[in-house]
Amino acid sequence: MPAKKSKYNKNKGIIRGIEFDKGTTAIYEKGILSVNGKKGHAEKKLLSKNIKIEVKENKVVIESKRSTKKDKTIVMTFEAHIKNLLRGVGEGYRYALKICSGHFPMNVSVNNDDFTIKNFLGEKIPRKMKIKNGAAVKVEGDQVIVESLNKEIAGQVSADIENLTRRPGYDPRIFQDGIFIISKPGKETK
């Protein structure tokens, strides 16, 4: 039987380019990609020994000399992170969460870096959480709005808020009190 041929030619490299707007600037130094745009500044550590990243004019170029499965995976992951950074400094990320209180009226507030829920299901002790740096949280009526330039920070803060009211062992179809994500980037409600 002949040996199986690999899908990938290891001698052929991979080159991917991500273009950005003229109002956006990018700098890659010491494994950190810094991006400045109209909304602000964001940075991400992108470091791999087989992957080379350069900023040329209005384009970020990712290059790998080899074409193994692992290198292709890393290149595509870096490309996704760079696209998220560029969108974040251009538009920003916004998550919306809904406050649902059917049995007891909940009091939700934000003070400095503290997110507090009082009277959740009649509890005497308030539930508290520290908000991560880089995220802005606002309470508007029965909605909590989380905004950030970094998609990962915005998503993590939203998930932490949702987890603050989660109660394992209770059927969520019956006990519907809590704070739940209703809108996120790429999956907005109509």
Residue 189, pLDDT score:
64
The phi, psi pair for 184, rounded to 5°, reads -145, 165
Q: Which fold has domain 93-183?
A: Outer Surface Protein A; domain 3 (3.90.930)
At residue 166, the 3 state secondary structure works out as coil
The phi, psi pair for 44, rounded to 5°, reads -150, 140
Per-residue exposure over 115-151, b if at least 16 CB sit within 10 Å of its own CB, e if not: bebeebeeeeeeeebebbebbebeeeeeebebbbbbb
Section 36-65 average pLDDT: 89
Say how far apart CA 121 and CA 172 lie, in whole Å: 14
| pLDDT tier for residue 10 given thresholds of 50, 70 and 90 | low
The letter for the amino acid at 26 is A
Give the chain's mean pLDDT. 87
CB 70 within 8 A of CB 76: no
Section 3-30 average pLDDT: 74
CB 74 within 8 A of CB 51: yes
Q: Which fold has domain 14-90?
A: Outer Surface Protein A; domain 3 (3.90.930)
Name the pTM for this structure: 0.82
Q: Per DSSP, what are the bridge partners of residue 98?
A: 143, 180
The phi, psi pair for 9, rounded to 5°, reads -90, 115
* 125-168 pLDDT, tens digit each: 999 999 999 999 999 989 999 999 999 999 999 999 999 988 88
The phi, psi pair for 33, rounded to 5°, reads -95, 115
Q: Do 93-183 and 14-90 have the same topology in CATH?
A: yes
Domains of the chain by residue range: 14-90, 93-183
